[in-house]
């Protein structure tokens, strides 16, 4: 892999030079510690470089990274990482940085799936395989590993639609530069599309949210509430952080718990909101399974860079018309009726799940 890394460095340097110097590029691990160097350049070991887009988001450090790292090490590989801190430009530099540390394979959680394409293409051209982790990168040579995000959106809409099949809907989407936002929206459309066409549902507000930011989602929801004189019947929020922002806006108007709200990711605060009844559904994507799948795939790519040969991969045609080898995991919708699923899986403890909950109304908290 050493010759491949040198070739990738030569090509990637052109990309980085075009971006200019960036003080955010780092040789530390995503959490700020020292980078591990067991799989140093020049050995036959497999070094996997992971580029996080924003390590401060709850799930990456708590669930994804430990599983990813464990799977890499179980396969005899070494884990190194860095954090783009929500900067697309920094992430392009970070890929070159990981290759310079000896990365044989890159796992990229893209801040901006379009902006990162030149850096990914450079790595692949230099013989360094790339895994698009949880977020799509439109490169036909990348291996795409994620949950079925269209299905996530469908599950979110199904739970909310079951509660409120008519009325005024608001849709709070994620980052416009993240293809997942559109995958989720397409899944929602499968459920509510006919009702919208028939006039049973009116979408009174729909917006993307930069960086999936909860505060931005809250501000958007406040604006929609004002514009509609609080006459909103349901909210399809695409993840738990934004759902929290939406519910804060509803709570300020005395509406929390009376208007169905969706989310996803299995954030502990969100699962508690499901138990409390202020969030209707939290589509759980067990990030431990995702991290494990990516770690195992990365070790396989060290041996054979052909993504289509990775165990469990199947063809997937992207919105951009690219055919990517893809591993899609299946999510689980969590409502008050099946909170035992996340409790039994050790994803959350009972005290956290049931904090402030009336145990006579939620069986799992009894």
- Domain limits, the chain: 2-147+287-329, 149-285+331-365
Q: Is the dihedral of CA 211, 53, 296, 6 positive or negative?
A: positive
| C-alpha to C-alpha distance for 20 and 69, rounded to whole angstroms | 31
**CA 366 remoteness from chain centre:** 33
CA distances (Å), origin 361, targets 122, 256, 273: 56, 17, 14
Spell out the per-residue pLDDT of the chain, length 366, in tens.
544 444 444 444 444 444 444 433 333 444 444 344 433 333 368 999 999 999 988 789 999 999 999 999 999 999 999 999 999 999 999 999 999 999 999 999 999 999 999 999 999 999 999 999 999 999 999 999 999 999 999 999 999 999 999 999 999 999 998 999 999 999 999 999 999 999 999 999 999 999 999 999 999 999 999 999 999 999 999 999 999 999 999 999 999 999 999 999 999 999 999 999 999 999 999 999 999 999 999 999 999 999 999 999 999 999 999 999 999 999 999 999 999 999 999 999 999 999 999 999 999 999
Distance CA 151, CA 132 (A): 19
Domain covering 2-147+287-329 assigned CATH 3.40.50.2300 in the classification:
yes
* Contacting residues for 3 by C-beta, under 8 A, at least 6 apart: 127
What is the Cα–Cα distance from 86 to 201, expressed in whole angstroms?
A: 35
Architecture of domain 149-285+331-365: 3-Layer(aba) Sandwich (3.40)
């Amino acid at each position: 892999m050493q010759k491949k890394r040198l070739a990738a460095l030569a090509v990637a340097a052109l990309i980085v030079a075009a971006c200019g110097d960036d003080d955010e590029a780092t040789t530390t691990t995503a959490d700020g510690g020292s980078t591990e160097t067991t799989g140093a350049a020049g050995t036959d070991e497999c070094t996997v470089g992971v580029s996080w887009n924003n390590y401060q988001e709850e799930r990456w450090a708590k669930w994804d990274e430990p599983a990813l790292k464990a799977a890499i090490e179980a396969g005899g590989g070494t884990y190194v990482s860095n954090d783009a801190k929500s900067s697309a430009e920094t992430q392009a530099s970070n890929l070159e940085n990981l290759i310079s540390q000896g990365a044989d394979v890159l796992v990229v959680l893209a801040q901006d799936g379009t902006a990162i394409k030149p850096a990914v293409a450079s790595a692949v051209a230099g013989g360094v395989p790339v895994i698009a982790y949880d977020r799509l990168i439109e490169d036909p040579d990348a291996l795409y590993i994620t949950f079925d995000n269209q299905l996530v959106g469908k599950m979110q809409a199904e739970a909310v639609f079951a509660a409120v099949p008519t009325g005024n809907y608001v849709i709070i989407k994620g980052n416009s530069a993240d293809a997942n936002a559109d995958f989720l929206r397409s899944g929602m459309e499968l459920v509510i599309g006919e009702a919208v066409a028939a006039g049973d549902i009116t979408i009174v507000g729909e917006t993307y949210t930069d960086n999936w930011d909860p505060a931005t989602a809250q501000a958007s929801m406040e604006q929609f509430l004002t514009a509609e004189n609080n006459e909103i019947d349901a909210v399809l929020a695409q993840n738990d952080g934004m759902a929290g922002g939406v519910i804060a806006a509803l709570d300020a108007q005395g509406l929390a718990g009376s208007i169905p709200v969706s989310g996803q990711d299995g954030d502990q605060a969100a699962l508690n909101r499901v138990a409390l009844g202020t969030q209707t559904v939290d589509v759980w994507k067990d990030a431990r399974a995702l991290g494990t799948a990516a770690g195992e795939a990365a070790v396989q790519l060290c041996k054979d860079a052909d993504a289509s040969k990775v165990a469990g991969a199947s063809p997937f045609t992207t919105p951009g018309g690219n055919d990517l080898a893809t591993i899609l995991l299946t999510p689980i919708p969590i409502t008050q009726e099946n909170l035992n699923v996340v409790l039994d899986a050790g994803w959350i403890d009972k005290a956290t799940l049931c904090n402030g909950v009336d145990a006579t109304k939620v069986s799992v908290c009894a």
